[in-house]
Chain A
């Protein structure tokens, strides 16, 4: 369970955050939410699909790490073997919220929380959050910048997904994966971009997608399907 408290320089003066990667830190997950603006980095490592939030039924893009539940094929003894780690993984154990500004015309102010029950939170080792003078460390500043990007990313994802749905570009798919050991594995419950529909879009529709910045991530997602091979290779390698 999570136990989020608002981050504060006196209460968390001695709190540290472990940045190592491993199953013991909750990294053994099959997929994580991702954002259109990081697709360029994601597609160089992981396949990008779409999945429905179980609470709301809303679509969001995800980066796939494994073929079975609780399986992250990028994790090994040395950590997470990839050139890029998705922001939603990197964000832990922090969360951002926004509090309404006293002045109605002012911007709401960001509030950063930390999950004190997250296994990354430690008194003994890891990155410190505040300097002796109570100022945020470079590590924390970077974490907050990331959280702000994530916040904007959620908003942008909504527009991106709406554009995909309006153009009828998402379709459910099932992938049958045969491994070297002869076992059949099925990848179920994800959605992809329908290439046929994409190729039939009018110039007008394509232009609108391009203007709104959605066309590039669409092609990034398509390119990412080649990474399914990476997952299969890793899985086969694990079994030998």
Chain B
């Protein structure tokens, strides 16, 4: 049981696999020259036959740190992954379906470390949108402005950002970096069988062209097939379809009419009769898709809604030529992610609609925790596994709570939206939070963990974006008078900052063209 962890094997080479490989390899030197005792081996086995799912994807701002730690140049990343800047999400039609919209920007409200502006915004709610009042970022979306300038060093910003990227290109880019710079061993082979040892651990995987590959820890990044965690270990899958109904996606690529067309600053999410349409602007094209509940909508009708959406922005010809690809999924996750000497990361661990782009951030966090707590030997592995499972089950629950929050404040009348508001479809934890928020706005106290996925600010943006009302308190706090003055000053500073940014930032298209020509400086 005290076998040292010396060989780590990742099965699957999509974004999840290569991102995991890169994060672990950036933390631990591989095949270290110091001798066998110091280094360990990291091997990624990728099927030459299975194509990765290359849809346009959104990341969180955490991806900037992830790339930087891996030693990636942001300029190379932009040039090779069709990347653009993502500064948040704009939700249209979610509240009433009648030209309503709100934003969830990545930058937290001004002065958020100390002052909660939400109660001070309440009296102004009819005059200014919450996100516009507290944060300078959303006003940049309309002008498709970038979050920085060409003089801003790589990974630094004026306003916080993540990325939109081409997942297929990203996986390839990461593979080159992992293999050429980080020493990851890359094997192209199909996995035929799994061999167990006497304790039921995976001893090795048998491949068609590279024989048996042994290891002490196996990471399952094989996607929805879940080769190790599912097919081999049969770890049960926990469906979450009672909370989140969406289980089908129709994805299409939409070309720009000219290479100089504007690139959106955020993901556009537009509510439909039984789901929503994502719209992600890459420099080369848009990625548009309709994710919906098959219990509430037919494929024909969902396709028609998608085509109508494309037509409205790109014209009839483009809409009629669009090739629509259908993806079905069961929303939910594994009952445990780390089982014996196998960890599932990516779609093998679980999948849920991409409403808040939680897929890649879960990969980053999972890989970071493995890199950070890499068990030295098999006996400590069981303890790390226990922690890992506890942490990620908690995270999945929080993601489900947060995604569901987007659905339960709606005034839309379609069956799908009414069903979403049924109490039986809402997690109890979320019901409690919303009851609490009736009387006090979300604040730092609501987040139990220091590395909580969604800060309380995210809850504020969605709640107040959708017109939620936190009732004013029936007591007056002694600190209120001072706080009122501070808040007024913060609102003013924010408005000034928004004006200043609007006047000085280039458009996404301008900045991305400059990145192609000149690149970002490292300092």
List chain A positions with a Cβ less than 8 A from chain B.
52-59, 165, 170-172, 191
Q: Which residues 470-523 in B have Cβ within 8 Å of A in the complex?
A: 514, 517-523
State the CA gap A54–B511 with chains docked (Å). 12
A58 to chain B, nearest CB (A): 6
A234 to chain B, nearest CB (A): 29
Q: Are A57 and B523 within 8 A (Cβ)?
A: no
Report which residue of A52, A53, A172 has the largest number of chain B beta carbons within 10 angstroms of its beta carbon: A52
Interface: B151 (CB within 8 A): yes
Q: Are A57 and B522 within 8 A (Cβ)?
A: no
Q: Are B150 and A170 within 8 A (Cβ)?
A: no
Q: Are B151 and A52 within 8 A (Cβ)?
A: yes
Instruction: Find chain B residues with CB under 8 A from A170 CB.
Output: 523
Give the contacting residue for B150; candidates A57, A171, A172; CB below 8 A.
Answer: A57
Give the contacting residue for A58; candidates B149, B152, B518, B523; CB below 8 A.
Answer: B518
Q: Are B521 and A52 within 8 A (Cβ)?
A: yes
Q: Are A191 and B523 within 8 A (Cβ)?
A: yes
Instruction: Find chain B residues with CB under 8 A from A171 CB.
Output: 523
Q: Which residue of A lies closest to B150 (CB)?
A: A57
Give the contacting residue for B522; candidates A53, A58, A165; CB below 8 A.
Answer: A165
Instruction: Find chain B residues with CB under 8 A from A172 CB.
Output: 523
Q: Which residue of B lies closest to A170 (CB)?
A: B523
B513 to chain A, nearest CB (A): 11
Interface string of B144-157 (1 = CB under 8 A from A): 00000111100000
Residue total for B at the interface (Cβ-Cβ under 8 A): 12
Instruction: Find chain B residues with CB under 8 A from A52 CB.
Output: 151, 521
A203 to chain B, nearest CB (A): 23
Q: Which residues 146-205 in B have Cβ within 8 Å of A in the complex?
A: 149-152
Report which residue of A53, A55, A191 has the largest number of chain B beta carbons within 10 angstroms of its beta carbon: A55
State the CA gap A55–B519 with chains docked (Å). 12
State the CA gap A57–B513 with chains docked (Å). 13
Q: Are B523 and A56 within 8 A (Cβ)?
A: no
Instruction: Find chain A residues with CB under 8 A from B149 CB.
Output: 54, 57
A129 to chain B, nearest CB (A): 36
Instruction: Find chain B residues with CB under 8 A from A57 CB.
Output: 149-152, 514, 518-521
Give the contacting residue for B518; candidates A56, A165, A191; CB below 8 A.
Answer: A56
Q: Are A56 and B521 within 8 A (Cβ)?
A: no
Q: Which residue of B lies closest to A59 (CB)?
A: B521
Contacts A57-B150, A57-B518, A165-B522 given; 16 further ones with Cβ under 8 A? A53-B151, A54-B149, A54-B151, A55-B150, A55-B514, A56-B514, A56-B517, A57-B151, A57-B152, A57-B519, A57-B520, A58-B518, A59-B521, A165-B521, A172-B523, A191-B523
Report which residue of B514, B518, B521 has the largest number of chain A beta carbons within 10 angstroms of its beta carbon: B521
Q: Which residue of B lies closest to A161 (CB)?
A: B521
Report which residue of B149, B152, B523 has the largest number of chain A beta carbons within 10 angstroms of its beta carbon: B523
Interface string of B69-87 (1 = CB under 8 A from A): 0000000000000000000
Q: Which residue of B lies closest to A172 (CB)?
A: B523
State the CA gap A54–B151 with chains docked (Å). 6
State the CA gap A59–B151 with chains docked (Å). 9
Report which residue of A54, A55, A57 has the largest number of chain B beta carbons within 10 angstroms of its beta carbon: A57
State the CA gap A171–B520 with chains docked (Å). 15
A210 to chain B, nearest CB (A): 24
Instruction: Find chain B residues with CB under 8 A from A56 CB.
Output: 150, 514, 517-518
Q: Return 20 A-B CB contacts under 8 Å, by A number.
A: A52-B151, A53-B151, A54-B149, A54-B150, A54-B151, A55-B150, A56-B150, A56-B514, A57-B149, A57-B150, A57-B151, A57-B152, A57-B514, A57-B518, A58-B518, A58-B521, A59-B521, A165-B522, A170-B523, A172-B523
Interface string of B131-155 (1 = CB under 8 A from A): 0000000000000000001111000
B484 to chain A, nearest CB (A): 32
Instruction: Find chain B residues with CB under 8 A from A191 CB.
Output: 523
State the CA gap A171–B149 with chains docked (Å). 19
B520 to chain A, nearest CB (A): 7
State the CA gap A172–B520 with chains docked (Å). 15
Q: Which residue of B lies closest to A191 (CB)?
A: B523
Instruction: Find chain B residues with CB under 8 A from A58 CB.
Output: 518, 521
Q: Which residue of B lies closest to A57 (CB)?
A: B150
Instruction: Find chain A residues with CB under 8 A from B521 CB.
Output: 52, 57-59, 165
Which 8 pairs between the two chains have the least Cβ-Cβ distance? A57-B150, A52-B151, A56-B518, A57-B151, A57-B518, A57-B521, A172-B523, A58-B518
State the CA gap A60–B517 with chains docked (Å). 17
Q: Which residue of A lies closest to B517 (CB)?
A: A56
Q: Which residue of A lies closest to B522 (CB)?
A: A165
Instruction: Find chain A residues with CB under 8 A from B517 CB.
Output: 56
Instruction: Find chain A residues with CB under 8 A from B514 CB.
Output: 55-57
State the CA gap A52–B154 with chains docked (Å). 14
Q: Which residue of A lies closest to B518 (CB)?
A: A56
Q: Which residue of B lies closest to A52 (CB)?
A: B151
State the CA gap A165–B518 with chains docked (Å). 14
Instruction: Find chain A residues with CB under 8 A from B523 CB.
Output: 170-172, 191
B291 to chain A, nearest CB (A): 38
State the CA gap A204–B280 with chains docked (Å). 48
Instruction: Find chain A residues with CB under 8 A from B151 CB.
Output: 52-54, 57
State the CA gap A238–B152 with chains docked (Å). 35
Q: Which residue of A lies closest to B152 (CB)?
A: A57
State the CA gap A58–B523 with chains docked (Å). 11
State the CA gap A59–B518 with chains docked (Å). 11
Instruction: Find chain B residues with CB under 8 A from A165 CB.
Output: 521-522
